[in-house]
Amino acid sequence: MRVAVYPGSFDPITNGHLDIIKRACQLFDKVIVAIAENPQKKALFTLEERLEMLHEVLKDLPKVRVDAYHGLTVEYARRQGACAIIRGLRAISDFENEFVMALTNKKLAPEIETLFLMTEAQYSFISSSAVKEVAYYGGCLKDMVPPPVEVRLRAKFREIKRLGEE
Ligand code: ADP
């Protein structure tokens, strides 16, 4: 059984993430999509909301399991019996950080490979932060996020704006 962990913030999951997950499913028996809990990173959605969105969007992919973890990704991957960590690469700008992270993880856990999947061109411009900015200003999110995520983004910013007006 070949298990891979796909770690990230998923704040929120986008069509770019979804494409990477579907492609990883063709390479592994089980893909664990895991939210890395990082208190230093300010997220728009709570951990529970992000987990709910992952469950909603990934429910039809039988090889996928959804989870969250604290601490080092390699230690989490070890506990899950994973042989690989999946990361997506969009532009050269992703490369530098990812390269350092992959080498650090290799040093900590030489038995776990980091596997980079190159983004599909049509998703290369999509990031969680860009999606949040478009949603904040009420722009069209078609083809950027799965429909349940769009609904959540609209609701979240409606709520934030309502609270701001009170
Ligand atoms: P992190 O905070 O760990 O960067 P993200 O949720 O932003 O978490 O991203 C998780 C992984 O998915 C990263 O490897 C990132 O490069 C990759 N990724 C994000 N957006 C895309 C995309 N549009 N196409 C391919 N990979 C992507």
Check which CATH number belongs to the domain holding 112 and give it.
3.40.50.620
The residue whose CA is least distant from atom 2 of ligand 1 is: 9
Could you please report the per-residue DSSP string of 100-154? HHHHHHHHH-TTSEEEEEEPPGGGTT--HHHHHHHHHTT---TTTS-HHHHHHHH
**Averaged over 42-48, what is the pLDDT?**
96
Ligand 1 centroid from CA 88, angstroms? 5
**Averaged over 53-74, what is the pLDDT?**
98
**Model confidence over 64-97: pLDDT tens digits?**
999 999 999 999 999 999 999 999 999 888 899 9
Q: Which residues pair with 20 in a beta bridge?
A: none
The predicted model scores a pTM of 0.95
Q: Are 39 and 66 in contact (CB under 8 A)?
A: no
* Domain that residue 135 falls in: 3-165
Q: Is 41 annotated as a binding residue?
A: yes
Residue 5 CA, distance from chain mean position: 11
Q: How many domains does the chain have?
A: 1
Q: Is 50 a catalytic residue?
A: no
